[in-house]
Structure 1
Amino acid sequence: MKTLLVPVARHTLLDSVLDTAVLAARRFDASIEGFGLRPALAEYVPVDMVGGMTWVRDEEVDLVEARDCGGLFTAAMDRHGVARDSADAGRGGPRYRWRPDAPPGDGFLAQHARLFNATVVGRPGSGEGTPRMTTLEAVLFESGRPLIIAPPTTPASIGETVMIAWNGSTETARTVAFAAPFLRAASRIEVLGVDAGMVPGPSAEEMAAALNREGLSAQGRTLAAGRRAVGEVFLTEAEAIGCDLLVKGAYTQSRLRQMIFGGATSHILAHATMPVLMAH
């Protein structure tokens, strides 16, 4: 986990996103690249349904905001004592750089994210000023790389106690592979299955045994959901063991089905209080 990408936009979770990125970078002496995320004009053309007028964002305003985001990013890195990528080459530890010329749009983000081990974003919300779900989904479905999703409150640590939200699926198996650097560095690994959320595939106990054969130390168990939602079980158990990184394969069920009926991914995206490593 040597390269991290951070799209920087003004939202309520920005401090947590930057702090989470630094925590992850320190764990692996990683390089952090930041850039100002601004919407492409085609992505942001709101319509006044009463007056029939279309309002297009001012691109110059977006450019100024992107430059301001660069100042916020650099200040956060300096505050944490992270060195610039061009600084003393002999100095160890994490480094950062700012890309000032990034094109607008989530499409660019998804493509650029393919060059990095992970992209750090904030947990989406429905309120004004919260991170956009479209940004998360662009990376999730189009980058081929994992996300580290920062919680609303800055975590104290990341990756010491890891829980794998296991359901036997291809998506979760792929996410576990992406999480290998964290798993190798973790003090505790728990593989949790929930009976109501399993698909045909290996059990949580079998996944834990497979990790142990790789030289890790993992515990596996499967719980009955009872009347609780599967995602609720995962988060409750994660909080109970002091989990500071939840590993979750995203959308084993289709997004449409989860929007209508709910699902573990949707529940975790709405309620997680710890960092989540997620991939599809």
Structure 2
Amino acid sequence: MKSVLLYVNDDSGLDARYQAALDITRALSGHLHCLRANPYNPQMAFDGVTGMSVMYDVGKYAREADIALKGEMEKRLSGEDVPWDYQEANAEAARGLARSSALADLMVLSSASGDKDNTTPISILGDVVLGTNIPVVVQPDSVKKFDVAGPAVVAWNGSFEAGNALRGAVPLLKLASEVHIVVVEEDKDHDLPPLDASEYLSGHGIGSKIHDLEAKNSSVQDVLLSSVATLGASYLVMGAYGHSRAREFLLGGVTRSLFHDCPVPLVVAH
């Protein structure tokens, strides 16, 4: 895991995901790829009095904003101790990120929390996470770090998605002080029991502890969040569940809730 892809956008989560991407890149001795994806779409407006059309050069203003953002990011990055590059893509955010993920090992996005009018839409998270084959860090706006050396919680239900997330997170889990595999019983059989996950990690030299919990009257996400708090986890690894590259309603309920409310970074894969 050497190539870290950072989504660059002037929103409320930029500072948090920028710092998280730096922390991860340093810890893995990797390379930080910064991507600014933004379509330049001019707009047409019509004057109802004269019937004349007026072209507003939205592309010009968008380009000016991109130049300013690039200058700010290059100034920040020039003082950091990681190798980096800055690229721009004339594409909608999710499409540009998905395209660039082909030669990346990990992507850093923001959660769907933060300022209501200036935050990552969950539709971007859904399209990117469900449409790429690499792990994605979903960083809360309020957490301006990624503690790779802290304890990690792995949410396990024996599914294909959980297995993909676990495998993708191995380079990070090797650096964790503790790894906890949390299973929330939902009265259904698991395709792969948690012991298999623990043995898989052991094969990579990673020790782990299994916690088999019951939801009882609580939701799965509440049990997971309680475990994160009790175990002092720095981040949560989990599979992202959904049915296609689509929008919010096609994400699983637990995935959708944690994209909004998780207080620590998520490392997710589909």
Normalised to the residue count of structure 2, the TM-score between the two structures is: 0.85
Q: Which residue of 2 aligns with 1:90?
A: none
**2:163 corresponds to 1:162:** no
- Indicate the residue corresponding to 1:89 in structure 2: none
Asked if the contact 1:2/1:117 (under 8 Å) is kept, the reply is yes
> Sequence identity of aligned pairs in percent?
21
Partner of 1:102: 89
Tell me which moved more, 141-150 or 215-224: 141-150
> Distance in 1 between the 2:33 and 2:16 partners?
16
Other-structure match for 2:182: 192
Q: What amino acid maps onto 1:28 in structure 2?
A: L
Structure 1 match to 2:28: 28
Alignment match, 2:138: 149
Q: In the alignment, residue 131 of structure 1 is paired with which amino acid?
A: T
Q: Give the Å deviation of 1:40.
A: 5.9
User: Does structure 2 conserve the Cα–Cα contact (< 8 Å) formed by 1:159 and 1:244?
Assistant: yes
CA contact 2:242–2:251 (8 Å) conserved in 1: no
Deviations 1:49-69 (A, max 9, x none): xxxxxx998122222222222
Q: Equivalent residues in 2 for 1:128-143 (5 A)?
A: 128-143=117-132
Is 1:208 aligned to residue 195 of structure 2?
Answer: no
SS of 1:185 mapped into structure 2: coil
Report the secondary structure of 1:228's partner residue: coil
Greater displacement, 260-269 / 230-239 = 260-269
Name the counterpart of 1:50: none
Residue segments in structure 1 that go unaligned for 5+ positions in a row = 48-54, 83-93
1:227 aligns with 2:211: no
- Partner of 1:179, secondary structure, is helix
Query: 1:240 matched to which residue of 2?
Result: 230
Q: Which residue of structure 1 lines up, in the alignment, with residue 111 of structure 2?
A: 123
Aligned to 1:65: 65
In structure 2, C-alpha distance between the alignment counterparts of 1:202 and 1:103, rounded to whole Å: 42
Q: 1:251 Cα deviation (Å)?
A: 0.8
Counterparts of 1:124 and 1:248, CA distance in 2:
17
Please give the alpha-carbon distance, in whole angstroms, between the structure 2 residues aligned to 1:197 and 1:10: 44
Aligned-partner Cα distance in 2 for 1:158–1:143? 24
Q: Following superposition of structure 1 onto structure 2, how do residues 251-266 of structure 1 map, counting pairs within 5 Å? A: 251=241, 259=249, 263-266=253-256
SS at match of 2:174: helix
The CA deviation at 1:270 is 1.0
Matched residue of 1:120: which SS?
Answer: strand
Shift of 1:38: 1.7
Question: Normalising to structure 1: TM-score of the pair?
Answer: 0.82
Label 1:270 to 1:255 Cα distance change in 2 as closer, same or farther (>3 A). Answer: farther
Deviation sequence 1:112-153 (CA, Å, 0-9, x none) = 111100111111248101112232223212222221111122
Cα deviation, 1:16-53, whole Å, max 9, x if unaligned, reads 010010010111111111122224649xx8x9xxxxxx
**Range with greater deviation from structure 2 (156-165 or 7-16):** 156-165
Letter of the structure 1 residue corresponding to residue 32 of structure 2: I
**C-alpha displacement of 1:189:** 0.5
CA distance 1:230–1:218, shift in 2 (3 Å): same
Gaps of 5+ in 2: 46-54
Q: Does the aligned pair in 2 maintain the 1:121–1:147 contact within 8 Å?
A: yes
The 8 Å contact of residues 37 and 66 in structure 1, kept in 2 or not, is answered as no
Question: Amino acid of the residue matched to residue 130 of structure 1?
Answer: T
Q: Distance in 2 between matches of 1:71 and 1:272?
A: 32
Matches of 2:187 and 2:260 in 1, distance apart?
Answer: 18
The change in CA–CA distance for 1:213 and 1:139 in structure 2 (over 3 A counts) is same
Determine the structure 1 residue equivalent to 2:77.
77
In the TM superposition, residue 241 of structure 1 has moved relative to its aligned partner by: 1.4
